[in-house]
C-alpha cells in the first residue's frame, strides 16, 4: 500500500507531462474528480493535482525536445546527488541532473539499465502526496521490464528494497515480485516488478516501463469513463495478484496507468 508517511525508497510524488495541460486536467478530472491548484510563481506552467483539496500529483507541459507524454514516479531519496553516482555505477543512465524545484525539493531523473524512466526527490517544505491509497489517488506502482532478474538486482542495490515472490494467476508465466522499502514488512509493499515480453511493453522500443496504479471504487464505471474521455483500455478488468481487480489503460495522449479496486478479503 502507498502511505503518506514516506519511507526512503517509497513513492512520494507523481508527475504527469502532457502536450495539453487543460485537456489532461479535463480527462482526469472526470475520471477521478481531480482539480488544479497553483504550484507557485516559479512553477513553469505546472499545477498541483488535488482531490478534495489534497495534493495527489503534479501536471505540467512537455519541456524537453523529444519528451513524450508520460507519468513519472518519484521515489523518496535523502541524498539525490549520491544516487547519481550509484545509478551510473549500477549501469543506469542520468537523464536530468539534480536540481531544485520549488516545494518539491531536489530531484533527478534516470533510466534504469532496461530503459525504465524513474525519478528521485529529496523533499523540502511539501513532503509529497497528501493523500494516497483511497479512491482517486495512487495505491500502487509497477515496473514492467524485459529482464525481471536484472531489475531486481538494480533496484535492490539502489534503494535496498525487499522483494517477495508472488505467483502469477493461472495462465500467466513468471513470478510477480512485491516491493517493500528497506527494513519494512510486507504490509508496506508499495509496488511490483513483472517480467514482460518486450513486444508487449508500452514503449515502442521494448524498454521497461514504470506506471502508477490508482484506486477506484467501481472499476467498470472507471473503465467506461476512460473510453468516453478518449483514453485507451488495453486490458479489461480482471483479478490480479495482491491488489484485486485491475485494468491497464492510457489517457488520450498515451500516458499509461492502471486502475485498481481492492477485493474483499
pLDDT in tens, the chain (265 residues): 777 788 899 999 999 999 999 999 999 999 999 999 987 766 677 899 999 999 999 999 998 777 899 999 999 999 999 999 999 999 999 999 999 876 668 999 999 999 999 999 998 776 789 999 999 999 999 999 999 999 999 999 999 999 998 766 544 556 789 999 998 888 889 999 998 887 777 766 778 999 999 999 999 999 999 999 999 999 989 887 666 889 999 999 999 999 999 766 5
Q: How far apart are CA 167 and CA 164, in angstroms?
A: 10
Place of cell 511490483: 192
Q: Is 45 exposed, middle or buried (0-12, 13-18, 19+ CB in 10 A)?
A: exposed
Q: Tell me the Cα Rg of the chain.
A: 17
CA distances 192 to 26, 138, 167, Å, are 29, 14, 12
In the chain, the domains with their CATH numbers are: 11-122 (3.10.180.10), 138-262 (3.10.180.10)
Taking alpha carbons only, the member of 101, 128, 98 closest to residue 42 is 101
Strand partners, 165: 177
C-alpha torsion angle, residues 34, 36, 40, 41 (rounded to 10) = 150
| Alpha helices (H) along the chain | 21-32, 80-89, 148-159, 219-228
Give the count of beta carbons closer than 10 Å to the beta carbon of residue 67: 11
Amino acid at each position: 500500500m502507498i502511505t503518506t508517511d514516506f519511507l526512503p525508497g517509497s513513492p512520494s510524488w507523481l508527475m504527469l507531462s502532457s502536450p495539453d495541460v487543460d485537456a489532461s486536467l479535463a480527462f482526469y478530472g472526470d475520471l477521478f474528480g481531480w482539480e488544479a491548484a497553483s504550484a507557485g510563481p516559479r512553477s513553469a506552467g505546472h499545477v498541483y493535482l488535488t482531490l478534495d483539496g489534497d495534493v495527489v500529483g503534479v501536471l505540467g507541459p512537455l519541456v524537453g525536445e523529444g519528451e513524450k507524454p508520460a507519468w513519472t514516479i518519484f521515489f523518496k531519496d535523502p541524498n539525490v546527488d549520491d544516487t547519481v553516482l550509484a545509478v551510473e555505477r549500477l549501469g543506469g543512465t542520468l537523464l536530468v541532473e539534480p536540481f531544485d524545484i520549488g516545494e518539491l525539493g531536489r530531484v533527478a531523473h534516470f533510466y534504469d539499465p532496461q530503459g525504465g524512466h524513474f525519478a528521485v526527490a529529496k523533499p523540502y517544505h511539501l513532503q509529497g502526496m497528501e493523500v494516497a491509497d483511497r479512491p482517486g489517488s495512487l495505491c500502487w506502482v509497477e515496473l514492467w521490464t524485459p529482464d525481471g532478474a536484472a531489475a531486481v538486482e538494480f533496484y535492490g542495490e539502489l534503494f535496498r528494497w525487499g522483494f517477495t515472490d508472488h505467483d502469477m494467476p493461472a495462465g500467466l508465466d513468471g513470478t510477480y515480485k512485491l516491493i517493500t522499502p528497506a527494513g519494512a514488512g510486507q504490509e508496506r509493499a508499495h509496488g511490483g516488478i513483472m517480467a514482460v515480453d518486450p513486444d508487449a511493453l508500452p514503449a515502442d522500443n521494448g524498454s521497461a516501463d514504470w506506471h502508477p496504479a490508482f484506486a477506484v471504487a467501481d472499476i467498470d464505471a472507471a473503465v467506461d469513463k476512460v473510453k468516453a474521455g478518449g483514453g485507451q483500455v488495453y486490458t479489461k478488468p480482471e483479478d490480479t495478484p495482491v491488489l484485486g481487480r485491475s485494468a491497464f489503460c492510457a489517457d488520450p495522449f498515451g500516458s499509461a496507468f492502471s486502475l485498481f479496486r481492492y477485493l474483499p478479503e
